[in-house]
Amino acid sequence: MPTLFEKIIAREIPAQIEHEDELCIVIHDIQPQAPVHVLVIPKKPIPRVAEAEDDDGATLGHLLLTARDVAKKLNLSNGFRVVINNGPDGCESVPHLHVHLLGQRQMQWPPG
């Protein structure tokens, strides 16, 4: 059964798309946790970072570089946070790896 993100990539479910290329799509989170909260999602369905294959390295790197580029586009020059949740204790809500890019507010440490 396709995940929510696979349905968004296939345009079966609408989303506010910020960026798209051959490897990923960036959408605005529907439950934002910061004034800017977008998700960088690989088009290849990787369930979670713990299940990524060694040959997924280029895709994983591309996700972070895309997060950097989108942060610049969204004027997050004062800073931002990048988060990847993994598994139940990591607060994973969709079993399709994605990178949260959050900004335009002061982040707290430690998170969670």
Report, as residue numbers or ranges, the catalytic residues: 98
Q: Which residue has the tokens 């369905």?
A: 45
CA distance 28 to 31: 9
Q: Is residue 40 exposed (0-12), middle (13-18) or buried (19+ Cβ within 10 Å)?
A: buried
CA neighbor of 24 nearest in space, from 79, 52, 53, 63: 63
Which residues face 103 on adjacent strands? 36, 80
Residues 6+ apart with CB under 8 A from 11: none
